[in-house]
Amino acid sequence: MENKIRVSNLNFFYGKAQALYDISLEVPERQVVACIGPSGCGKSTFLRTLNRMNDTIPIARADGEVIVDGENIYAPGTDVVALRRKVGMVFQKSNPFPKSIFDNVAYGIRINGIQTSKTDLNDRVEKALHDAALWNEVKDRLNTSAFGLSGGQQQRLCIARALAVQPEVILMDEPASALDPIATQKIEELVVELKRDYTIVIVTHNMQQASRVSDRTAFFMLGKLVEYDSTQKMFQNPNEKLTEDYITGRFG
Amino acid sequence: MDHRIIDQQLDVLRDKILLLGGATESAVQRAMQSLVERDSVLAKQVLEEDKIIDQMELEIDRLSIEILALQHPAAHDLRFVISVAKITPILERIADHAGSIAEAALVINIEPLVKNYVEFPMMAQTAAEMLRSALDAFTNEDAQLSREIIERDKEIDTSYKKVFNALLEMMIDNPSATTGAAHLLFVAKHLERIGDYVKDICELNVYLREAAFIKHSRLI
Ligand SMILES: Nc1ncnc2c1ncn2[C@@H]1O[C@H](COP(=O)(O)OP(=O)(O)O)[C@@H](O)[C@H]1O
Ligand SMILES: [Mg+2]
Protein backbone atom coordinates (compact mmCIF):
# COMPACT_ATOMS: atom_id res chain seq x y z
CA MET A 1 0.00 0.00 0.00
CA GLU A 2 1.26 3.45 -0.95
CA ASN A 3 1.66 6.05 1.76
CA LYS A 4 -0.32 9.16 0.97
CA ILE A 5 1.16 11.15 3.81
CA ARG A 6 4.44 10.75 5.65
CA VAL A 7 5.11 12.82 8.73
CA SER A 8 8.69 12.81 10.03
CA ASN A 9 10.02 14.33 13.22
CA LEU A 10 7.35 16.95 13.34
CA ASN A 11 7.53 19.44 16.21
CA PHE A 12 4.94 22.13 16.62
CA PHE A 13 4.85 25.26 18.78
CA TYR A 14 2.32 27.89 19.73
CA GLY A 15 4.78 30.66 20.59
CA LYS A 16 7.01 29.10 23.26
CA ALA A 17 4.58 26.34 24.10
CA GLN A 18 5.35 23.10 22.34
CA ALA A 19 2.17 21.28 21.29
CA LEU A 20 3.61 18.37 19.29
CA TYR A 21 6.83 16.46 19.98
CA ASP A 22 8.72 14.63 17.30
CA ILE A 23 5.77 13.02 15.58
CA SER A 24 6.48 10.49 12.85
CA LEU A 25 3.80 8.45 11.17
CA GLU A 26 2.56 7.34 7.80
CA VAL A 27 -0.95 7.47 6.41
CA PRO A 28 -1.58 4.80 3.77
CA GLU A 29 -3.59 5.80 0.73
CA ARG A 30 -7.32 5.10 0.86
CA GLN A 31 -7.29 4.15 4.50
CA VAL A 32 -8.86 5.75 7.53
CA VAL A 33 -6.53 6.83 10.31
CA ALA A 34 -8.12 7.78 13.62
CA CYS A 35 -6.41 10.09 16.11
CA ILE A 36 -7.44 9.55 19.70
CA GLY A 37 -6.25 10.87 23.04
CA PRO A 38 -7.34 13.03 25.98
CA SER A 39 -8.43 16.53 25.15
CA GLY A 40 -5.62 19.01 24.78
CA CYS A 41 -3.17 16.28 23.69
CA GLY A 42 -2.69 17.88 20.27
CA LYS A 43 -5.02 15.92 17.98
CA SER A 44 -6.52 18.99 16.31
CA THR A 45 -3.14 20.65 16.09
CA PHE A 46 -1.73 17.56 14.43
CA LEU A 47 -4.63 17.36 11.99
CA ARG A 48 -4.14 21.00 11.00
CA THR A 49 -0.46 20.45 10.31
CA LEU A 50 -1.46 18.12 7.48
CA ASN A 51 -2.83 20.94 5.33
CA ARG A 52 -1.10 23.87 7.00
CA MET A 53 -4.33 25.13 8.47
CA ASN A 54 -2.21 26.27 11.45
CA ASP A 55 -0.62 28.91 9.20
CA THR A 56 -3.55 31.14 10.05
CA ILE A 57 -2.36 31.27 13.69
CA PRO A 58 0.34 33.96 13.82
CA ILE A 59 2.38 32.49 16.71
CA ALA A 60 2.34 28.98 15.30
CA ARG A 61 5.53 27.34 14.07
CA ALA A 62 6.18 23.86 12.71
CA ASP A 63 9.44 22.07 12.08
CA GLY A 64 9.98 18.65 10.60
CA GLU A 65 8.48 17.25 7.47
CA VAL A 66 4.99 16.51 6.24
CA ILE A 67 5.23 14.79 2.90
CA VAL A 68 2.07 14.53 0.85
CA ASP A 69 2.42 12.59 -2.40
CA GLY A 70 6.18 12.80 -2.11
CA GLU A 71 6.38 16.56 -1.54
CA ASN A 72 7.18 18.33 1.69
CA ILE A 73 4.27 20.71 2.21
CA TYR A 74 6.40 22.92 4.47
CA ALA A 75 8.98 23.48 1.74
CA PRO A 76 9.26 27.12 0.62
CA GLY A 77 7.18 27.90 -2.42
CA THR A 78 4.42 25.42 -1.59
CA ASP A 79 1.10 26.49 -3.11
CA VAL A 80 -1.02 26.43 0.05
CA VAL A 81 -4.30 26.95 -1.80
CA ALA A 82 -3.61 23.94 -4.00
CA LEU A 83 -2.54 21.99 -0.91
CA ARG A 84 -5.82 22.71 0.85
CA ARG A 85 -7.73 21.74 -2.24
CA LYS A 86 -5.95 18.39 -2.21
CA VAL A 87 -6.19 17.99 1.56
CA GLY A 88 -9.67 19.15 2.55
CA MET A 89 -11.08 19.60 6.00
CA VAL A 90 -14.35 19.05 7.85
CA PHE A 91 -14.77 20.58 11.29
CA GLN A 92 -16.47 19.57 14.50
CA LYS A 93 -19.24 22.13 14.31
CA SER A 94 -20.90 22.07 10.97
CA ASN A 95 -20.54 25.56 9.59
CA PRO A 96 -22.79 26.03 6.61
CA PHE A 97 -23.03 29.52 5.17
CA PRO A 98 -26.28 31.47 5.20
CA LYS A 99 -26.90 30.45 1.63
CA SER A 100 -28.81 27.81 -0.26
CA ILE A 101 -27.86 24.16 -0.09
CA PHE A 102 -26.63 24.37 -3.67
CA ASP A 103 -24.49 27.43 -3.09
CA ASN A 104 -22.92 25.93 0.01
CA VAL A 105 -21.57 23.09 -2.07
CA ALA A 106 -20.74 25.26 -5.09
CA TYR A 107 -18.90 27.71 -2.85
CA GLY A 108 -15.73 25.66 -2.59
CA ILE A 109 -15.61 25.20 -6.32
CA ARG A 110 -16.07 28.93 -6.92
CA ILE A 111 -13.56 30.21 -4.37
CA ASN A 112 -10.98 27.80 -5.63
CA GLY A 113 -11.31 29.52 -8.96
CA ILE A 114 -12.15 26.28 -10.66
CA GLN A 115 -13.55 27.16 -14.06
CA THR A 116 -16.75 25.31 -14.80
CA SER A 117 -19.69 25.65 -17.11
CA LYS A 118 -23.14 25.80 -15.55
CA THR A 119 -23.88 22.13 -16.27
CA ASP A 120 -20.45 21.15 -15.03
CA LEU A 121 -21.09 22.97 -11.80
CA ASN A 122 -24.49 21.29 -11.44
CA ASP A 123 -22.91 17.89 -12.04
CA ARG A 124 -20.20 18.50 -9.51
CA VAL A 125 -22.61 19.68 -6.85
CA GLU A 126 -24.83 16.68 -7.46
CA LYS A 127 -21.90 14.26 -7.30
CA ALA A 128 -20.60 15.82 -4.09
CA LEU A 129 -24.05 15.57 -2.50
CA HIS A 130 -24.30 11.96 -3.67
CA ASP A 131 -20.89 11.11 -2.26
CA ALA A 132 -21.84 12.73 1.02
CA ALA A 133 -24.98 10.54 1.12
CA LEU A 134 -27.18 13.62 1.16
CA TRP A 135 -28.52 13.86 -2.38
CA ASN A 136 -31.75 11.93 -1.85
CA GLU A 137 -32.65 14.07 1.14
CA VAL A 138 -32.06 17.45 -0.52
CA LYS A 139 -32.50 17.03 -4.27
CA ASP A 140 -35.93 18.67 -4.21
CA ARG A 141 -34.87 21.68 -2.20
CA LEU A 142 -31.44 22.64 -3.43
CA ASN A 143 -32.33 26.32 -3.43
CA THR A 144 -33.61 26.47 0.11
CA SER A 145 -31.46 27.66 2.99
CA ALA A 146 -28.88 25.27 4.41
CA PHE A 147 -30.08 26.25 7.88
CA GLY A 148 -33.27 24.30 7.24
CA LEU A 149 -31.29 21.06 7.45
CA SER A 150 -30.90 18.97 10.60
CA GLY A 151 -27.55 18.94 12.40
CA GLY A 152 -26.56 15.65 10.82
CA GLN A 153 -27.57 16.86 7.37
CA GLN A 154 -25.64 20.10 7.87
CA GLN A 155 -22.56 18.09 8.75
CA ARG A 156 -22.95 15.98 5.61
CA LEU A 157 -23.45 19.19 3.66
CA CYS A 158 -20.07 20.38 4.94
CA ILE A 159 -18.60 17.07 3.85
CA ALA A 160 -20.19 17.58 0.42
CA ARG A 161 -18.64 21.07 0.30
CA ALA A 162 -15.24 19.57 1.06
CA LEU A 163 -15.74 16.85 -1.57
CA ALA A 164 -16.86 19.28 -4.26
CA VAL A 165 -13.32 20.51 -4.90
CA GLN A 166 -12.26 16.90 -5.45
CA PRO A 167 -9.70 16.51 -2.69
CA GLU A 168 -7.62 13.38 -2.24
CA VAL A 169 -7.33 13.55 1.52
CA ILE A 170 -10.07 14.54 3.94
CA LEU A 171 -9.27 15.67 7.46
CA MET A 172 -12.16 15.45 9.91
CA ASP A 173 -12.02 16.98 13.37
CA GLU A 174 -14.62 15.32 15.60
CA PRO A 175 -17.16 15.41 12.78
CA ALA A 176 -19.86 13.65 14.77
CA SER A 177 -19.30 14.97 18.27
CA ALA A 178 -22.31 17.27 18.16
CA LEU A 179 -24.65 14.75 16.55
CA ASP A 180 -27.25 12.32 17.86
CA PRO A 181 -26.58 8.57 17.55
CA ILE A 182 -28.42 8.10 14.26
CA ALA A 183 -26.76 11.06 12.58
CA THR A 184 -23.46 9.84 14.01
CA GLN A 185 -23.99 6.42 12.53
CA LYS A 186 -24.63 7.98 9.13
CA ILE A 187 -21.39 9.94 9.31
CA GLU A 188 -19.52 6.78 10.30
CA GLU A 189 -21.02 4.84 7.40
CA LEU A 190 -20.07 7.70 5.15
CA VAL A 191 -16.47 7.68 6.36
CA VAL A 192 -16.18 3.98 5.59
CA GLU A 193 -17.81 4.55 2.19
CA LEU A 194 -15.53 7.48 1.35
CA LYS A 195 -12.32 5.57 1.89
CA ARG A 196 -12.86 3.85 -1.43
CA ASP A 197 -11.83 7.12 -3.09
CA TYR A 198 -10.20 9.20 -0.40
CA THR A 199 -7.58 9.00 2.31
CA ILE A 200 -9.09 10.05 5.61
CA VAL A 201 -7.65 11.25 8.90
CA ILE A 202 -10.27 11.61 11.59
CA VAL A 203 -9.96 13.02 15.10
CA THR A 204 -12.45 11.59 17.51
CA HIS A 205 -12.83 11.50 21.27
CA ASN A 206 -15.15 8.53 20.85
CA MET A 207 -13.05 5.40 21.03
CA GLN A 208 -15.76 3.10 19.77
CA GLN A 209 -16.06 5.38 16.79
CA ALA A 210 -12.33 5.09 16.14
CA SER A 211 -12.53 1.31 16.40
CA ARG A 212 -15.56 1.13 14.10
CA VAL A 213 -14.35 3.32 11.25
CA SER A 214 -10.57 3.30 11.14
CA ASP A 215 -7.91 1.00 9.76
CA ARG A 216 -5.15 2.47 11.87
CA THR A 217 -5.26 4.34 15.14
CA ALA A 218 -2.84 6.92 16.52
CA PHE A 219 -2.91 7.51 20.26
CA PHE A 220 -1.61 10.90 21.40
CA MET A 221 -0.84 12.10 24.88
CA LEU A 222 0.64 15.43 25.96
CA GLY A 223 1.70 16.19 22.40
CA LYS A 224 3.46 12.87 21.90
CA LEU A 225 2.47 9.98 19.70
CA VAL A 226 2.36 7.13 22.21
CA GLU A 227 1.42 4.36 19.82
CA TYR A 228 0.35 3.98 16.21
CA ASP A 229 -0.74 0.65 14.82
CA SER A 230 -3.54 -1.18 13.08
CA THR A 231 -6.83 -0.47 14.81
CA GLN A 232 -7.48 -4.12 15.46
CA LYS A 233 -4.14 -4.42 17.24
CA MET A 234 -4.61 -1.17 19.19
CA PHE A 235 -7.99 -2.27 20.55
CA GLN A 236 -7.19 -5.92 21.20
CA ASN A 237 -3.60 -5.93 22.29
CA PRO A 238 -1.78 -2.59 22.30
CA ASN A 239 1.95 -2.62 22.95
CA GLU A 240 1.99 0.33 25.32
CA LYS A 241 0.53 0.25 28.80
CA LEU A 242 -0.53 3.88 28.39
CA THR A 243 -2.61 2.95 25.36
CA GLU A 244 -4.19 0.04 27.21
CA ASP A 245 -5.01 2.30 30.15
CA TYR A 246 -6.54 4.94 27.91
CA ILE A 247 -8.70 2.71 25.73
CA THR A 248 -9.96 0.76 28.73
CA GLY A 249 -10.88 3.95 30.56
CA ARG A 250 -8.30 3.64 33.31
CA PHE A 251 -7.63 7.32 33.26
CA GLY A 252 -9.78 10.31 32.39
CA MET B 1 -9.87 6.52 37.23
CA ASP B 2 -9.23 4.24 40.20
CA HIS B 3 -12.43 2.35 39.92
CA ARG B 4 -14.14 1.60 36.68
CA ILE B 5 -17.66 0.18 36.57
CA ILE B 6 -16.38 -2.71 34.51
CA ASP B 7 -13.85 -3.74 37.19
CA GLN B 8 -16.54 -4.84 39.58
CA GLN B 9 -18.21 -6.96 36.91
CA LEU B 10 -14.92 -8.47 35.78
CA ASP B 11 -14.21 -9.41 39.41
CA VAL B 12 -17.56 -11.16 39.65
CA LEU B 13 -16.87 -12.97 36.39
CA ARG B 14 -13.46 -14.06 37.66
CA ASP B 15 -14.97 -15.37 40.90
CA LYS B 16 -17.61 -17.28 38.99
CA ILE B 17 -15.25 -19.02 36.62
CA LEU B 18 -12.91 -19.93 39.48
CA LEU B 19 -15.84 -21.47 41.32
CA LEU B 20 -16.80 -23.37 38.20
CA GLY B 21 -13.21 -24.50 37.76
CA GLY B 22 -13.10 -25.72 41.35
CA ALA B 23 -16.39 -27.57 40.98
CA THR B 24 -15.20 -29.22 37.76
CA GLU B 25 -11.90 -30.24 39.30
CA SER B 26 -13.70 -31.72 42.26
CA ALA B 27 -16.17 -33.59 39.99
CA VAL B 28 -13.32 -35.25 38.12
CA GLN B 29 -11.45 -36.08 41.27
CA ARG B 30 -14.49 -37.53 43.06
CA ALA B 31 -15.68 -39.45 40.02
CA MET B 32 -12.31 -41.21 39.93
CA GLN B 33 -12.44 -41.75 43.67
CA SER B 34 -15.89 -43.33 43.38
CA LEU B 35 -14.40 -45.76 40.91
CA VAL B 36 -11.16 -46.59 42.70
CA GLU B 37 -12.83 -46.88 46.12
CA ARG B 38 -15.95 -48.56 44.68
CA ASP B 39 -18.07 -45.88 46.33
CA SER B 40 -21.39 -45.75 44.47
CA VAL B 41 -22.90 -43.24 46.88
CA LEU B 42 -20.16 -40.81 45.91
CA ALA B 43 -20.74 -41.56 42.21
CA LYS B 44 -24.41 -40.64 42.59
CA GLN B 45 -23.43 -37.42 44.31
CA VAL B 46 -21.18 -36.47 41.41
CA LEU B 47 -24.05 -37.06 38.98
CA GLU B 48 -26.43 -35.06 41.13
CA GLU B 49 -24.08 -32.07 41.37
CA ASP B 50 -23.67 -31.81 37.62
CA LYS B 51 -26.86 -29.73 37.60
CA ILE B 52 -25.14 -27.09 39.72
CA ILE B 53 -22.33 -26.92 37.20
CA ASP B 54 -24.79 -26.44 34.34
CA GLN B 55 -26.34 -23.60 36.28
CA MET B 56 -22.94 -21.97 36.82
CA GLU B 57 -22.30 -22.15 33.10
CA LEU B 58 -25.53 -20.31 32.35
CA GLU B 59 -24.74 -17.55 34.82
CA ILE B 60 -21.28 -17.01 33.39
CA ASP B 61 -22.70 -16.88 29.87
CA ARG B 62 -25.24 -14.31 30.90
CA LEU B 63 -22.71 -12.12 32.67
CA SER B 64 -20.14 -12.32 29.84
CA ILE B 65 -22.72 -11.24 27.28
CA GLU B 66 -23.91 -8.45 29.53
CA ILE B 67 -20.38 -7.10 29.92
CA LEU B 68 -19.79 -7.27 26.17
CA ALA B 69 -23.08 -5.54 25.41
CA LEU B 70 -22.97 -2.82 28.03
CA GLN B 71 -19.34 -2.14 28.88
CA HIS B 72 -17.67 -2.53 25.47
CA PRO B 73 -14.48 -3.99 26.89
CA ALA B 74 -11.25 -3.50 24.96
CA ALA B 75 -7.72 -4.88 25.04
CA HIS B 76 -7.04 -7.07 28.10
CA ASP B 77 -10.58 -6.61 29.42
CA LEU B 78 -11.92 -7.89 26.11
CA ARG B 79 -9.56 -10.84 26.00
CA PHE B 80 -10.50 -11.72 29.55
CA VAL B 81 -14.24 -11.81 28.82
CA ILE B 82 -13.69 -13.77 25.60
CA SER B 83 -11.44 -16.28 27.38
CA VAL B 84 -13.94 -16.79 30.17
CA ALA B 85 -16.78 -17.19 27.69
CA LYS B 86 -14.80 -19.80 25.78
CA ILE B 87 -13.35 -21.67 28.77
CA THR B 88 -16.71 -21.99 30.51
CA PRO B 89 -18.32 -24.51 28.11
CA ILE B 90 -15.06 -26.46 28.09
CA LEU B 91 -15.25 -26.80 31.87
CA GLU B 92 -18.87 -27.82 31.59
CA ARG B 93 -17.93 -30.56 29.13
CA ILE B 94 -15.14 -31.77 31.38
CA ALA B 95 -17.70 -32.01 34.15
CA ASP B 96 -19.92 -34.03 31.79
CA HIS B 97 -17.07 -36.47 31.32
CA ALA B 98 -16.72 -36.66 35.10
CA GLY B 99 -20.43 -37.53 35.18
CA SER B 100 -19.90 -40.25 32.59
CA ILE B 101 -17.05 -41.67 34.67
CA ALA B 102 -19.38 -41.69 37.68
CA GLU B 103 -22.02 -43.54 35.63
CA ALA B 104 -19.42 -46.08 34.59
CA ALA B 105 -18.41 -46.43 38.25
CA LEU B 106 -21.99 -47.34 39.16
CA VAL B 107 -21.78 -50.30 36.74
CA ILE B 108 -18.21 -51.32 37.47
CA ASN B 109 -18.67 -51.19 41.23
CA ILE B 110 -21.17 -54.07 41.16
CA GLU B 111 -18.97 -56.17 38.88
CA PRO B 112 -16.18 -58.30 40.26
CA LEU B 113 -13.09 -56.22 40.97
CA VAL B 114 -10.90 -56.05 37.92
CA LYS B 115 -7.39 -56.69 39.08
CA ASN B 116 -4.56 -54.74 37.64
CA TYR B 117 -5.91 -51.31 36.84
CA VAL B 118 -2.41 -50.94 35.39
CA GLU B 119 -1.60 -47.38 34.28
CA PHE B 120 -5.04 -46.31 35.19
CA PRO B 121 -4.63 -44.35 38.43
CA MET B 122 -1.63 -42.64 36.94
CA MET B 123 -3.58 -41.51 33.92
CA ALA B 124 -6.32 -40.19 36.15
CA GLN B 125 -3.81 -38.38 38.29
CA THR B 126 -2.13 -36.78 35.28
CA ALA B 127 -5.50 -35.56 33.99
CA ALA B 128 -6.44 -34.12 37.37
CA GLU B 129 -3.07 -32.42 37.76
CA MET B 130 -3.25 -30.94 34.29
CA LEU B 131 -6.69 -29.54 34.99
CA ARG B 132 -5.60 -27.98 38.27
CA SER B 133 -2.48 -26.46 36.69
CA ALA B 134 -4.51 -25.13 33.76
CA LEU B 135 -6.81 -23.32 36.16
CA ASP B 136 -3.81 -21.95 38.07
CA ALA B 137 -2.29 -20.82 34.80
CA PHE B 138 -5.55 -19.08 33.92
CA THR B 139 -5.66 -17.30 37.27
CA ASN B 140 -2.05 -16.17 36.99
CA GLU B 141 -2.24 -15.62 33.25
CA ASP B 142 0.82 -17.81 32.94
CA ALA B 143 1.44 -18.53 29.27
CA GLN B 144 4.64 -20.45 29.94
CA LEU B 145 2.95 -22.89 32.31
CA SER B 146 0.09 -23.25 29.84
CA ARG B 147 2.49 -24.30 27.10
CA GLU B 148 4.05 -26.88 29.42
CA ILE B 149 0.63 -28.33 30.23
CA ILE B 150 -0.18 -28.60 26.53
CA GLU B 151 2.93 -30.75 26.16
CA ARG B 152 1.76 -33.01 28.99
CA ASP B 153 -1.30 -34.02 27.00
CA LYS B 154 1.00 -36.42 25.17
CA GLU B 155 1.55 -38.31 28.45
CA ILE B 156 -2.17 -38.92 28.67
CA ASP B 157 -2.36 -40.07 25.07
CA THR B 158 0.47 -42.53 25.70
CA SER B 159 -1.15 -43.81 28.89
CA TYR B 160 -4.44 -44.18 27.04
CA LYS B 161 -2.85 -46.48 24.47
CA LYS B 162 -1.26 -48.59 27.21
CA VAL B 163 -4.49 -48.80 29.19
CA PHE B 164 -6.43 -49.65 26.05
CA ASN B 165 -4.11 -52.55 25.19
CA ALA B 166 -4.00 -53.82 28.75
CA LEU B 167 -7.78 -53.84 29.07
CA LEU B 168 -8.13 -55.53 25.70
CA GLU B 169 -5.77 -58.31 26.78
CA MET B 170 -7.68 -58.64 30.02
CA MET B 171 -10.93 -59.14 28.14
CA ILE B 172 -9.38 -61.85 26.00
CA ASP B 173 -7.65 -63.63 28.88
CA ASN B 174 -10.48 -63.37 31.33
CA PRO B 175 -13.95 -63.30 29.71
CA SER B 176 -15.67 -62.94 33.11
CA ALA B 177 -14.04 -59.51 33.45
CA THR B 178 -15.39 -58.28 30.11
CA THR B 179 -18.20 -56.05 31.41
CA GLY B 180 -15.99 -54.35 33.94
CA ALA B 181 -13.12 -53.98 31.52
CA ALA B 182 -15.35 -52.58 28.78
CA HIS B 183 -16.63 -49.90 31.11
CA LEU B 184 -13.12 -49.13 32.23
CA LEU B 185 -12.27 -48.63 28.60
CA PHE B 186 -14.91 -45.91 28.47
CA VAL B 187 -13.47 -44.33 31.57
CA ALA B 188 -10.04 -44.27 29.96
CA LYS B 189 -11.53 -42.61 26.90
CA HIS B 190 -13.19 -39.96 29.08
CA LEU B 191 -9.87 -39.21 30.76
CA GLU B 192 -8.21 -38.91 27.40
CA ARG B 193 -10.87 -36.43 26.28
CA ILE B 194 -10.44 -34.43 29.47
CA GLY B 195 -6.76 -34.11 28.56
CA ASP B 196 -7.76 -32.65 25.19
CA TYR B 197 -10.10 -30.15 26.81
CA VAL B 198 -7.44 -29.07 29.28
CA LYS B 199 -5.24 -28.39 26.29
CA ASP B 200 -7.97 -26.16 24.82
CA ILE B 201 -8.13 -24.21 28.09
CA CYS B 202 -4.37 -23.71 28.00
CA GLU B 203 -4.56 -22.38 24.45
CA LEU B 204 -7.07 -19.80 25.67
CA ASN B 205 -4.76 -18.92 28.56
CA VAL B 206 -2.11 -18.06 26.00
CA TYR B 207 -4.64 -15.95 24.08
CA LEU B 208 -5.57 -14.12 27.28
CA ARG B 209 -1.96 -13.30 27.99
CA GLU B 210 -0.52 -12.75 24.52
CA ALA B 211 -3.51 -12.21 22.20
CA ALA B 212 -2.05 -15.06 20.14
CA PHE B 213 -4.08 -17.94 18.77
CA ILE B 214 -2.03 -21.10 19.04
CA LYS B 215 -4.86 -23.53 18.37
CA HIS B 216 -4.42 -25.45 15.11
CA SER B 217 -0.95 -24.03 14.92
CA ARG B 218 2.46 -25.63 15.09
CA LEU B 219 3.82 -22.47 16.67
CA ILE B 220 3.31 -23.30 20.29
N1 LIG C 1 -4.63 28.63 18.69
C2 LIG C 1 -3.92 28.19 19.75
N3 LIG C 1 -3.06 29.01 20.38
C4 LIG C 1 -2.34 28.60 21.44
N5 LIG C 1 -2.39 27.36 21.94
C6 LIG C 1 -3.24 26.48 21.36
C7 LIG C 1 -4.04 26.84 20.24
N8 LIG C 1 -4.77 25.77 19.87
C9 LIG C 1 -4.44 24.77 20.73
N10 LIG C 1 -3.52 25.20 21.62
C11 LIG C 1 -2.92 24.39 22.70
O12 LIG C 1 -2.27 23.25 22.13
C13 LIG C 1 -2.51 22.09 22.87
C14 LIG C 1 -3.17 21.04 21.99
O15 LIG C 1 -4.49 21.47 21.65
P16 LIG C 1 -5.38 20.74 20.60
O17 LIG C 1 -4.57 20.42 19.41
O18 LIG C 1 -6.61 21.55 20.38
O19 LIG C 1 -5.74 19.39 21.38
P20 LIG C 1 -6.94 18.34 21.14
O21 LIG C 1 -7.49 18.55 19.79
O22 LIG C 1 -6.28 17.01 21.32
O23 LIG C 1 -7.92 18.58 22.22
C24 LIG C 1 -3.36 22.50 24.05
O25 LIG C 1 -2.51 22.72 25.14
C26 LIG C 1 -3.98 23.79 23.59
O27 LIG C 1 -4.24 24.63 24.68
MG1 LIG D 1 -9.48 19.05 19.19
Q: What is the pLDDT of residue B216?
A: 79
A238 CB neighbours in chain B (<8 A) are 75
B109 Cα–ligand 2 center, Å: 74
For B104-119, the pLDDT digits (tens) are 999 999 988 776 565 7
In degrees to the nearest 10, what's the CA dihedral of A59, A65, A70, A76?
Answer: 50
Q: What is the pLDDT of residue B124?
A: 87
A43 CB within 6 A, ligand 1:
yes
Each residue's pLDDT, cut to its tens digit, for chain A (252 residues) gives: 799 999 999 999 999 999 999 999 999 999 999 999 999 999 999 999 999 999 989 999 999 999 999 999 999 999 999 999 999 999 888 789 999 999 999 988 887 777 778 888 999 999 999 999 999 999 999 999 999 999 999 999 999 999 999 999 999 999 999 889 999 999 999 999 999 999 999 999 999 999 999 999 999 999 999 999 999 999 999 999 999 999 999 875
Q: Is the pLDDT of residue B1 over 60?
A: no
Q: What is the pLDDT of residue A1?
A: 74
What is the band of B170 on the pLDDT scale with cuts at 50, 70, 90? confident
CA distance A2 to B35: 66
DSSP-based three-state secondary structure for B210 = helix
A48 CB within 6 A, ligand 1:
no
CB A77 within 8 A of CB A119: no
B116 Cα–ligand 1 center, Å: 80
Q: What is the pLDDT of residue B180?
A: 87
B211 Cα–ligand 1 center, Å: 36
The answer to which of A201-210, B168-177, B188-197 has the lowest mean pLDDT is: B168-177
| CA within 13 Å, CB half, A180 | 5
A14 CB within 6 A, ligand 1:
yes
Q: Which of B1, B6, B211 sits opposite A237 (nearest CB)?
A: B211
Give the atom of ligand 1 at the shortest distance from the alpha carbon of A223: 14
Q: What is the pLDDT of residue A68?
A: 98
Inspect the interface and report whether the beta carbons of B74 and A207 lie closer than 8 Å.
yes
Inspect the interface and report whether the beta carbons of B75 and A207 lie closer than 8 Å.
no
Q: What is the pLDDT of residue B115?
A: 66
Residue nearest to atom 5 of ligand 1 (CA): A14
Q: Which residue on chain B is closest to A243 by alpha carbon?
A: B75
What is the band of B220 on the pLDDT scale with cuts at 50, 70, 90? low
Inspect the interface and report whether the beta carbons of A250 and B4 lie closer than 8 Å.
yes
B159 burial (CB, 10 Å; 0-12 / 13-18 / 19+) is buried
Q: What is the pLDDT of residue B118?
A: 59
For B8-22, the pLDDT digits (tens) are 999 999 999 999 999
Angle in degrees, CA B103, B109, B112, rounded to 5: 140
Strand partners, A35: A203, A218
From the list A239, A198, A196, the residue with the least C-alpha distance to A217 is: A239
Q: Where are the domains of chain A?
A: 3-96+168-247
For B207-218, the pLDDT digits (tens) are 999 998 888 776
For B54-77, the pLDDT digits (tens) are 999 999 999 999 999 999 999 999
Which class in CATH covers the domain with range A3-96+168-247? alpha beta
ipTM surpassing 0.95? no
